[in-house]
Amino acid sequence: MEKVSEYITPEKLTGYWEALLPTVINIAIGLAILIIGMWFAKRIGNIVKKNASKAPNIDETLANFLGSIAKYALTVVVVVAAVTKMGIEASSLVAMLGAATLAIGLALQGTLGNVAAGVMLMLFRPYKIGDYVSVAGEEGVVHDINIFTTVLTTIDNIKVIIANGEAWGSTIQNFTSMGVRRVDVDYGIHYDDDIDKAIKIMKDVSAAHPAVLSKPDGPWAKVVKLNDSSVDIQNRVWCKADDYWDVMFDLNKSIKEAFDKNGITIPYPHQVEIDG
């Protein structure tokens, strides 16, 4: 009993206190850093939230989300700083954060590649919203270009989401950007028909279509192939990119009808049977 009392004499106690004092001060400073830092983190989170919600295309929930991300990122920094000040070796914590960063970096490799491609797409603009394009083998109207993806809607209204890396790394066909397009369609006529007459009919019918342009070239038609059962004449007309399909389909109908009227026939497949 008296042995214990030897250790709690006033002089001894002050000795302990003096030994502990720097630690206590450090812990106090650490706590101060923690409290002030947390307060700052909260404030900055709020500022981020407020500014984000002012941006036109960020809704309230997303702004809140961004705000809390900022807050927590700062909190991590504050905690590391406070812990270090309290005398706990933070290098292990930092090492873990480093490893985590490496893991996240590797995980986001693909996504970051998409971001880079997205920046390229926004800088070089191979297509813009509203263009009819073929990207990564998918055809459709560009609905949206964002930092990660390009969104198309196909003519039958399927939404196609293409990673920008895929889009920028593939062949992009833009059917709109040149303004005018050429409609090429082959029509097969009978081997016994008058080719000149057929060509004249095709050109006349094409020229009569209101959407067919005379520039850069008027309607053109020539024999492109002597096929198995037909003489194939290709019809080429220029039109505005938007009219492409209408012109093609309308001409199919009117050329067929004009052929019927003028005695030009579109033959069925022929086969010669040799009678031994």
- Please select the residue that binds other proteins; options are 65, 175, 191, 220, rule is CB under 8 A: 65
- Please select the residue that binds other proteins; options are 119, 229, 262, 263, rule is CB under 8 A: 229
Report which residue type is found at 145.
Answer: I
**Interaction of residue 115 with other proteins, rule CB under 8 A:** no
- Please select the residue that binds other proteins; options are 41, 78, 162, 205, rule is CB under 8 A: 162
**Interaction of residue 2 with other proteins, rule CB under 8 A:** no
- Contacts of residue 61, defined as CB under 8 A and 6 or more positions apart, other chains included, come to none
Site for other proteins in 22-51 (CB under 8 A): none
Helix or strand (DSSP H, E) at 87? none
What six digits make up the tokens of 149?
A: 């993806």
Nearer to other proteins, 150 or 176 (CB): 150
SS3 178: coil
Binding mask 245-264 for other proteins (x = CB under 8 A): -x--xx-xx--xx-------
SS3 259: helix
- Please select the residue that binds other proteins; options are 159, 200, 222, 225, rule is CB under 8 A: 159
* 95, HSE (Cβ side, Cα atoms, 13 Å): 4
DSSP state of 67: H
Residue indicated by tokens 């505005």: 240
Stretch that binds other proteins, among 46-54, 117-125, 150-158, 198-206 (CB under 8 A): 150-158
Helix or strand (DSSP H, E) at 1? none
**Interaction of residue 14 with other proteins, rule CB under 8 A:** no
Q: How far is the CB of 232 from other proteins (least distance, A)?
A: 11
- Contacts of residue 41, defined as CB under 8 A and 6 or more positions apart, other chains included, come to 70, 71, 72, 74, 75, 78
**Interaction of residue 268 with other proteins, rule CB under 8 A:** yes
| C-beta separation of 74 from 34 below 8 A | no
- Please select the residue that binds other proteins; options are 81, 83, 211, 224, rule is CB under 8 A: 83
Stretch that binds other proteins, among 36-44, 56-64, 126-134, 175-183 (CB under 8 A): 56-64
